[in-house]
Amino acid sequence: MQCCTYFCSMKKCFAIVLFLTSTLLVQAQWRPQDSIRRALDLNAPGGFRVSFDGRNSFLKGQAINVGGARFGLDYGKIALFTGVYRTSLALFRGEDSFYTGFNYVSSTLEYYIHQSWRFEVVNSYQIGFGTVSEMRKVGNTVTRRAQGYVIPLETGIGGTVRFLRYLGFCAGVGIRVGHNRNISGFSGSYYYYGFTCFTGTMYRDFKKLVKRI
């Protein structure tokens, strides 16, 4: 029953991502040539961004938290980020306990479907590379071993609502696919919600303040 629920949640999340992306692209009258032209405009300065990137997800059908920190450049219509992420899963079976940890570096491309001062809707594409480790404890005996590598591929859609100049609310859903021959169940859906800080606005305001000084 647990595996069935987990699989259904992935299907529902994937369907939500496709539906929201296609609907918003039509409403925004998206034209690929505009995005390419803007992305290749070397004269357009990018705004620097630093942020935490946390989300709720599933690993082997169990609820987990994925934590990360990232930095990058925002060019208006697109943004490029690189970050470090970590997630883990602990299972307890009597005196036996298993701990599986994933550590990876990931790069993200974000495309803003809609962007205004108050609202943002963004489609994200992410690829990473990392390592998998496992620890097993039986009584007082602890065994650690490496479990190879993992390449996570992620895509999702999310948005923000700004209610103060530097503070807003964000939410989104997406899917993650990754393969490791020793560890199964890494692929799954994810979601996030919470408050967000607009570091890009802070950075631009700081630059203006420095110029005035």
CA-CA-CA-CA torsion sign (175, 63, 181, 53): positive
**N residues, the chain:** 213
- Residue 80: its pLDDT value, please? 92
SS (H, E, C) 160-190: EEECCCCEEEEEEEEEEECCCCCCCCCCEEE
Q: Tell me phi and psi for residue 130, to 5 degrees.
A: -160, -175
Q: Where is 209: in which H helix or E strand?
A: helix 199-212
Q: What is the pLDDT of residues 53-108, one digit of tens each?
A: 899 998 877 889 999 999 998 887 889 999 999 998 888 777 788 888 899 999 99
DSSP state of 60: T
Percent of the chain with pLDDT over 90: 37
The C-alpha atoms of residue 112 and residue 114 are separated, in whole angstroms, by 5
Question: What six digits make up the tokens of 189?
Answer: 């859906």
- Residue 28: its pLDDT value, please? 47
Question: What six digits make up the tokens of 107?
Answer: 């790069």
Question: What six digits make up the tokens of 174?
Answer: 């997406």
Q: What is the pLDDT of residues 101-141, one digit of tens each?
A: 899 999 999 999 988 889 999 999 999 999 998 888 887 78
Helices (H) and strands (E) in the chain, counts: 3, 10
Burial of 114 (0-12, 13-18, 19+ CB in 10 A): middle
Spatial CA neighbour of 12 closest among 189, 187, 172, 154 = 189
Domains of the chain with bracketed CATH: 2-41+48-212 (2.40.160.20)
Question: What six digits make up the tokens of 99?
Answer: 């701990």
The C-alpha atoms of residue 111 and residue 34 are separated, in whole angstroms, by 12
Q: What global pTM score does this model have?
A: 0.72
CB 47 within 8 A of CB 79: no
CB 87 within 8 A of CB 57: yes
pLDDT of 48 higher than 90:
no
The C-alpha atoms of residue 60 and residue 35 are separated, in whole angstroms, by 38
The C-alpha atoms of residue 136 and residue 98 are separated, in whole angstroms, by 5
- SS3 state at 29: coil
